[in-house]
Amino acid sequence: MKTLSEYDVMRKAGQWTPRKTLLEFLRYCFVCGFAFIVDFGTLIFLREVVFDQTPWGVYVAVVFGFAAGHITNYLLSLMFVFQEVEERHKGWTWRAFWLFTVVGAMGAGITELGMWIGYGIFHFNYIFVKLVMAGIVVLWNFIGRKLVVS
């Protein structure tokens, strides 16, 4: 009769393990990097080409960039971040998408607040502020999604 190691028991019970979480976080960083390129590219394009003459254009461009990056992040997360069959299956539900979106929308709110403070009040370059906020929001999104969606 085969005995299960402590790791196997925790894995079967769906409990947290440092190695599993670290690997998920590394895969999530890769996914976020690609989603950030989509988000950032959309932001730059809309701000510089579409909304270049409007004072509020940067804030609208941030929202559209978020939406494009969010969808990219969601789909790539399902394909690359969640490795266990049960996690992948759970991710393809409307409930999981809704929870993923709620956490992401909070991240978008954090980004908008940071943009308003950094760009709107202190007049830092919007690209610099977006880069700083992206780092903060990656951590928020991973922790929030890990707690709420998984």
Does the structure show a pLDDT above 50 at 1? no
Residues 123, 85 contacting (CB under 8 angstroms):
no
Q: What is the pLDDT of residues 26-81, one digit of tens each?
A: 888 899 899 999 999 999 999 988 988 788 888 899 899 989 998 998 888 888 77
Domain ranges of the chain: 17-148
Distance, in Å, from the CA atom of 44 to the CA atom of 41, rounded to the nearest integer, reads 5
DSSP letter for 4, please: P
| Poorest-pLDDT segment among 7-11, 14-18, 72-76, 88-92 | 7-11
Q: What pLDDT was estimated at residue 40?
A: 92
Count of residues in the chain: 150
Average pLDDT for residues 72-96, to the nearest whole number?
Answer: 73
Which residues lie closer than 8 Å to 74 by C-beta, 6 or more apart?
97, 100, 101, 104
Of 76, 86, 81, 82, which is closest to residue 38 (Cα–Cα)? 76
